[in-house]
Amino acid sequence: SSSAGEDVATAIDYTVADTKVHCIPSVLNGPLGAGLCVLLLGRSSTSRKAVFVLPGVIDADFTGNIGIMVQTCAPPINIPKGSKIAQLVPFESKVPHAGQEVRGDHGWGSTGQPQILLAVDILKHKPETRVTLKGPGEWAVTQSMLVDTGADITVI
């Protein structure tokens, strides 16, 4: 077939009652075979129903249930058992193996904690800090300054 991916159905009837992220069990368990990794993506028809499937990567050595992370901006929404809301798009990993640790059925976070050092919604809360500039003698001025999280150097 000319399809890029394989549709994935939900294993249970599920109601999304709020705008938080929910994980719905699918009818599939890993490993998926042939040593392939897959991208889990939403089907285009799913978004039209105000259900958004959050993308994810399922590694070739994952052996647990493949969960489908969903979110809606218009709760409550019922997703019946057997609903094909996601698709798996296979790919061959080209990343060299860093170790012999097998993921098994451990999913989210099994390769360690994400390294998010500063996450700020700049449109709502500008990342500001109080800075004190000191000069000769007793001269000093304290001021709020905008932190440019993309800069290596700040010029004052």
Please state, rounded to an integer, the average pLDDT across all residues of the chain. 81
- To which residue do tokens 């897959």 refer? 38
Mean pLDDT, residues 13-20: 96
Q: What is the pLDDT of residue 80?
A: 97
- pLDDT tens-digit map of 111-145: 565 555 545 455 555 667 777 888 778 888 888 87
Question: Would strands 65-72 and 77-79 be described as parallel, antiparallel, or unpaired?
Answer: unpaired
7 is catalytic: no
Confidence band of 65 (pLDDT split at 50, 70, 90) = very high
Quick one: which of 84, 87, 77 has its CA closest to 56?
A: 87
Confidence band of 81 (pLDDT split at 50, 70, 90) = very high
Mean pLDDT, residues 21-48: 92
Catalytic residue among 7, 13, 105, 148: 148
Give this prediction's pTM.
0.64
Contacts (Cβ under 8 Å, ≥6 apart) of 148: 154
Q: Given CATH 3.40.50.11540, say whether it is the number of domain 6-91.
A: no
- pLDDT tens-digit map of 92-101: 887 766 555 5
Q: What is the pLDDT of residue 41?
A: 96
Environment class of 82 (CB within 10 Å of its CB; exposed 0-12, middle 13-18, buried 19+): exposed
**Stretch among 30-44, 65-79, 81-95, 140-154 having the lowest mean pLDDT:** 140-154
Report the alpha-carbon distance of residue 41 to residue 54 in Å, rounded: 7
